[in-house]
């Protein structure tokens, strides 16, 4: 049974990151730490009481394709009605667009709860926010008025239609056509892997579709973005005729069975009517508005499923009686949590979960700063940092989630391989997170090619400098905090050296830099998170010295951070060695030898 980790979430928001600045940034909505806590309380109630009870049943039942449309599992429609009635679809949408205008930091925390409660359900709802942002920034006034209010309210849902059977991640190969027809276009083509491309939870679905206007340049330079509704909207705002778009099948997947992943056909008859968003041939730039929000959310999915797996593994280990460690004189078997290796696995899961939470929330706060600070220089620096962190969050958190959820199965032993315990669902559901919205290699290539390349590592150098300054100011009066601080400082220096080495490699031999881009991304995730955990350990140590009554909580923070630097962080030095000297073994190998 999932329970939202509210205490640790509040620790990151208020004590580690210090969200006081948001009170200034979001004064129009009277933001405060108390308001954030209240929102998280309500999100926890909704997740635990509405979404979690239909998570396992939804996985077993799955979404079903019919000729009339896709049918979601039992309970999903009622849960969605409760979702929009409670106003969750409006949470982080700006007030000017009819939303509540909450910070991205709060939205990410709420997303963690929702994704942990029921990832398959929340996938569909989370796409609407990106659609609102994309239409608001690139759509005409008419398109905004006609489509945004219903997306904000949750009356309609949105999708992203990018890839095609022959294209995969290479969007330059897109073939979907857009034929001008007066002020609108008619689209013809097939899209695959469309999350919630069709369903019966809302009366209408707003598809954002990448296509080529006839005569457009080849490659990504000729891609435009179109708004294609499932049902057309009449001039008076009422629902009109069915558009020429339909789901022809849904994929049979490893996990996320309740989330329909659709093959969408546009223009089987006269052509699907679509409305151009933004300028012709600039669709990819407009779609990235939606994709960047989605990539941060996918990183949070990794965190969420890891937290879920941790909770179940802990419950199992505390109640499963089996054997006893050497030297234990108690009669009969003991709970397996007392066995050293089970304890190690649980600490490994817990440390990584806390690291992912600190990293994800840090990126979210950087986005809030980038959009809201009054100082233009501060905004620009925060945006560079946020954009650099997002591929790390997306790539490292999802790859780490595969480790954590797999370890959760291991804690269960043989019972973890049995579907009835539920441990395998978390691994099955999260496995795709390191693939969709850009594989880990796509994230790492973006990190070194666009984010490091555009400023020659200035944003990364600034982040490392700030983290070292934070640790320099950390009062370490106990052995655990000293050990964590020293290990994090040493690791940050390693990251600084590795970044400089990678930049040199990128300048001299770009292919070799790409050959070590994923190890570099993993290195960033491991080390930046270590610095954040070390900072958190300092906060915990100060709270204990001040006589806090939450002794167990703060001692737990110290022990988790110590475990991380002792048993997780050392992997960073192997990755650093790969970054500095491991590229040639890839680039110099003939593919015939693989």
Active site residues: 437
Q: Report how far apart the first and last C-alpha atoms of the chain are (Å, whole number).
A: 45
Alpha-carbon dihedral 465, 467, 469, 474, rounded to 10 degrees: -170
What's the DSSP call for residue 354? H
Task: Tell me how far apart the alpha carbons of residues 102 and 95 are, in angstroms, rounded to a whole number.
Answer: 9
CA–CA gap between residue 507 and residue 341 (Å, rounded): 45
- Whole-number Å distance between alpha carbons of 202 and 77: 8
Residue 98 corresponds to which tokens in the numbers above? 């009819």
Helix (H/G/I), strand (E/B), else coil: 447: helix
Query: What is the rounded CA–CA span in Å between residue 453 and residue 25?
Result: 30
Residues in the chain: 594
Of 218, 85, 202, nearest in space to 147 by CA: 202
Close Cβ partners of 463 (under 8 Å, ≥ 6 residues apart): 385, 388, 389, 528
* Pair of tokens at residue 52: 């979690």
Determine the Cα–Cα distance for residues 165 and 384; give it in Å rounded to an integer: 34
C-alpha to C-alpha distance for 292 and 278, rounded to whole angstroms: 18
Phi-psi group of 442: left, alpha or beta (phi > 0 → left; psi -120 to 50 → alpha; rest → beta): alpha
Residue 187 to residue 266: CA distance in whole angstroms: 6
Q: Phi and psi (nearest 5°) for 45?
A: -60, -45
Q: Identify the helix (H) or strand (E) that includes residue 262.
A: strand 261-266
Angstrom distance (rounded) from CA 13 to CA 409? 30
Per-residue DSSP letter, 90: G
Per-residue three-class SS string for 71-87: ECCCCHHHHHHHHHHCC
């Amino acid at each position: 049974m999932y329970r939202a980790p509210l205490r640790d979430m509040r620790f990151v928001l208020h004590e580690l990151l210090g969200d006081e600045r948001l009170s200034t940034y979001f004064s129009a909505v009277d933001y405060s730490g108390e308001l954030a806590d209240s929102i998280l309380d309500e999100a926890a109630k909704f997740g635990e009481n509405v979404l979690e009870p239909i998570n396992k049943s939804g996985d077993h039942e799955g979404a079903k394709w019919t000729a009339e449309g896709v049918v979601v599992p039992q309970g999903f429609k009622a849960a969605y009605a409760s979702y929009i009635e409670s106003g969750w679809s409006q949470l982080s949408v700006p007030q000017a667009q009819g939303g509540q205008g909450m910070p991205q930091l709060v939205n990410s925390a709420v997303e963690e709860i929702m994704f942990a409660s029921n990832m398959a359900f929340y996938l569909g709802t989370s796409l609407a926010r990106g659609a609102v942002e994309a239409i608001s920034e690139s759509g005409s006034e008419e398109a905004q008025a006609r489509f945004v209010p219903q997306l904000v309210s949750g009356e309609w849902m949105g999708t992203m239609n990018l890839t095609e059977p022959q294209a995969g991640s290479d969007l330059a190969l897109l073939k979907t056509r857009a034929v001008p027809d007066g002020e609108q276009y008619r689209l013809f083509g097939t899209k695959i892997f469309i999350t919630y491309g069709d369903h019966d939870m809302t009366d209408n679905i707003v598809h954002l579709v990448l296509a080529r206007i006839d005569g457009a340049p080849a490659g990504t330079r000729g891609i435009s973005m179109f708004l294609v509704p499932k049902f057309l909207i009449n001039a008076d705002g009422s629902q009109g005729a069915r558009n020429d778009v339909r789901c022809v099948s849904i994929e049979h997947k490893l996990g996320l069975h309740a989330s329909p992943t659709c093959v969408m056909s546009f223009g089987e008859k006269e052509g699907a009517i679509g409305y151009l968003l933004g300028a012709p041939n600039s669709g990819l730039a407009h779609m990235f508005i939606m994709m960047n929000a989605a990539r941060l959310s996918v990183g949070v999915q990794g965190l969420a499923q890891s937290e879920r797996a941790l909770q179940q593994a802990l419950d199992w280990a505390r109640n499963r009686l089996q054997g006893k460690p050497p030297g234990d004189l108690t009669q009969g078997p003991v709970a397996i949590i007392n066995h050293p290796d089970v304890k190690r696995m649980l600490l490994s899961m817990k440390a990584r979960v806390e690291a992912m939470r600190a990293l994800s929330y840090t990126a979210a706060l950087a986005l809030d700063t980038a959009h809201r600070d009054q100082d233009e220089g501060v905004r620009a620096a925060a945006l560079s940092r946020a954009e650099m962190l997002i591929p790390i969050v997306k790539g490292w958190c999802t790859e780490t989630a595969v480790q954590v959820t797999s370890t959760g199965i291991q804690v269960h032993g043989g019972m973890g391989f049995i579907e009835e315990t539920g441990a395998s669902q978390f691994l099955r559901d999260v496995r795709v997170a390191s693939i969709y919205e850009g594989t880990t290699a796509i994230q790492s290539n973006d990190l070194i090619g666009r984010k490091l390349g555009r400023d020659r590592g200035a944003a990364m150098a600034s982040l490392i400098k700030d983290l070292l300054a934070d640790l320099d100011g950390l009062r370490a009066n106990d052995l655990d905090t000293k050990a964590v601080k020293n290990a994090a400082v040493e690791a940050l220096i390693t990251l600084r050296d590795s970044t400089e080495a990678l930049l040199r490699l990128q300048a001299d031999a770009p292919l070799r830099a790409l050959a070590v881009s994923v190890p570099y991304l993993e290195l960033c995730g491991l080390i930046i998170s270590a610095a954040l955990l070390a900072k958190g350990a300092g906060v915990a140590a100060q709270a204990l010295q001040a006589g806090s009554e939450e002794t167990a909580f703060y001692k737990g923070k110290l022990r988790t951070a110590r475990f991380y630097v002792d048993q997780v962080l050392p992997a960073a030095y192997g990755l650093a060695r790969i970054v500095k000297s491991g590229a040639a073994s890839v680039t110099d190998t003939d593919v015939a030898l693989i």
